[in-house]
């Protein structure tokens, strides 16, 4: 058997690289050599820190996860690689797979989605984030001419903002506590505001900040009888909101959105695979490269995860290069 390298959360706060055997690909399966993986900061940092609530441990399982929360667990879902063995229709193709951080793997052929020609392999790791953004916008349902704010200029928030920009007449404002995020907003072609001075009277506000402070700003800046889409995931962290003042008199609504199922408005005529394929098509847009803010060797992955967890790294999307032998 071939030996591969995989990243595991040994226990909360501790990541390790393990060598493990890999069986040969059988009929209907593909052998994929990983080129790049991406770290989904919000979810993966929560997993790394052991913050998945016991009630959510089954729902939070990644498609090819091994082990159980809080650990040891092999977790992740932003993987781009090349098919080295498999059906003729896939052989040699660059593919996106919802697979953890691992140097090579074998999965059913139906689990991989070809990356369209012309899209760089590293950019394709953003497919999972863009897919989430699509679902958020299916839930939010913005229309021509809307004024929309996105609170939180992280990877998901930036993807939501860039897709919103494509709707005619929509005024998009990306809101964040970090003024340096304005540079990214400029590259995405959207407006930027500091969270201390956000625009008000917004038709829709989408919170992707992962903080109750961000959700509070969303409530304060949406129109009367408006809807706030909560796209953050808090894990086992409590969120505190001020629901006095004008929350009731303005008849505000908070609605959750998450990627685990296709949004209700599209569930009858879209599959998750179709949604992912659409996300990959959107990645023809080179503006998404603005989100690829750091890259490291697979050898450094334990340190990268620790840095993202303790806040010493503030990358939008940190990609892992698996091209080095090991």
> Mean of the per-residue pLDDT values for the chain?
95
What pLDDT does residue 296 have? 97
Residue 308 has pLDDT above 90, yes or no: yes
Residue 89 has pLDDT above 80, yes or no: yes
What pLDDT does residue 143 have? 97
**How confident is the model over 155-159, as a mean pLDDT?**
97
Q: Give the model confidence (pLDDT) of 169-196 as tens digits.
A: 999 999 999 999 999 999 999 999 999 9
What pLDDT does residue 185 have? 98
Using the 3D structure, point to which of 202, 237, 256 is the last residue of a domain.
Answer: 256
What pLDDT does residue 235 have? 77
What pLDDT does residue 112 have? 97
Residue 12 has pLDDT above 80, yes or no: yes
Using the 3D structure, point to which of 230, 256, 282 is the last residue of a domain.
Answer: 256
Same domain, 166 and 104: no
Does residue 223 belong to any structural domain of this protein? yes
Residues pairing with 207 in the sheet: 151, 230
Same domain, 216 and 109: no
The CATH number of residue 244's host domain is 3.40.50.720
Does residue 281 belong to any structural domain of this protein? no
Same domain, 153 and 227: yes
Same domain, 17 and 93: yes
**How confident is the model over 292-300, as a mean pLDDT?**
97
Does residue 308 belong to any structural domain of this protein? yes
What pLDDT does residue 234 have? 83
**How confident is the model over 232-256, as a mean pLDDT?**
90
The pLDDT confidence band at residue 230, using thresholds 50, 70 and 90, is very high
Does residue 270 belong to any structural domain of this protein? no
Same domain, 24 and 59: yes
**How confident is the model over 149-173, as a mean pLDDT?**
97
Same domain, 244 and 137: yes
Does residue 102 belong to any structural domain of this protein? yes
Q: How many CB atoms lie within 10 A of CB 283?
A: 23
What pLDDT does residue 299 have? 97
Same domain, 48 and 143: no
What pLDDT does residue 82 have? 98
Does residue 171 belong to any structural domain of this protein? yes
Same domain, 20 and 110: yes
Residue 325 has pLDDT above 60, yes or no: no
What pLDDT does residue 59 have? 87
Does residue 263 belong to any structural domain of this protein? no
Q: Give the model confidence (pLDDT) of 18-54 as tens digits.
A: 999 999 999 999 999 999 999 988 889 999 999 999 9
The pLDDT confidence band at residue 324, using thresholds 50, 70 and 90, is low
The boundaries of the domain holding residue 70 are: 2-122+292-321
d(CA 56, CA 59): 5
Residue in 78, 287, 278, 66 with CA at minimum distance from that of residue 172: 287
Assess contact for 283 and 121: CB atoms under 8 A: no
Residue in 77, 88, 90, 81 with CA at minimum distance from that of residue 32: 81
**How confident is the model over 141-148, as a mean pLDDT?**
98
The CATH number of residue 74's host domain is 3.90.180.10
Residue 304 has pLDDT above 70, yes or no: yes
Q: Looking at the 3D structure of the chain, how many domains does it have?
A: 2
């Amino acid at each position: 058997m071939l030996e591969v390298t995989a990243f595991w959360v040994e226990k909360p706060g501790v990541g390790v690289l393990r060598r493990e055997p890999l069986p040969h690909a059988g009929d209907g399966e593909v052998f994929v050599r990983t080129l790049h993986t991406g770290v989904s900061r919000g979810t993966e940092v929560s997993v790394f820190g052991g913050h998945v609530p016991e009630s959510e441990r089954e729902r939070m399982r990644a498609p090819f996860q091994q082990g159980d929360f809080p650990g040891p667990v092999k977790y992740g879902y932003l993987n781009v690689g090349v098919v080295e063995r498999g059906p003729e229709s896939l052989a040699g193709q660059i593919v996106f797979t919802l697979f953890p951080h691992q140097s090579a793997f074998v999965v059913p052929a139906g689990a991989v989605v070809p990356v369209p020609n012309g899209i760089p392999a590293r950019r394709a790791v953003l497919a999972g984030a863009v897919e989430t953004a699509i679902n958020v916008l299916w839930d939010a349902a913005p229309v021509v001419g809307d004024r929309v704010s996105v609170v939180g200029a992280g990877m998901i928030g930036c993807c939501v903002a860039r897709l919103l920009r494509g709707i005619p007449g929509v005024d998009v404002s990306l809101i964040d506590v970090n003024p340096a995020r304005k540079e990214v907003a400029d590259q995405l072609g959207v407006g930027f505001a500091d969270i201390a001075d956000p625009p008000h009277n917004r038709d829709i506000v989408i919170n992707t900040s992962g903080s109750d402070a961000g959700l509070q700003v969303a409530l304060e800046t949406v129109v009367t009888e408006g809807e706030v889409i909560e796209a953050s995931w808090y894990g086992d962290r409590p969120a505190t909101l001020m629901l006095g003042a004008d929350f009731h008199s303005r008849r505000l609504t908070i609605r959750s959105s998450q990627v685990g199922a296709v949004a209700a408005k599209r569930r009858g005529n879209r599959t998750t695979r179709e949604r992912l394929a659409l996300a990959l098509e959107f990645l023809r847009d080179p503006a998404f490269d603005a989100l690829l803010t750091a890259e490291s060797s697979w050898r450094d992955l334990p340190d990268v995860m620790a840095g993202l967890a303790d806040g010493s790294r503030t990358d939008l999307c940190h990609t892992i290069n698996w091209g080095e032998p090991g």
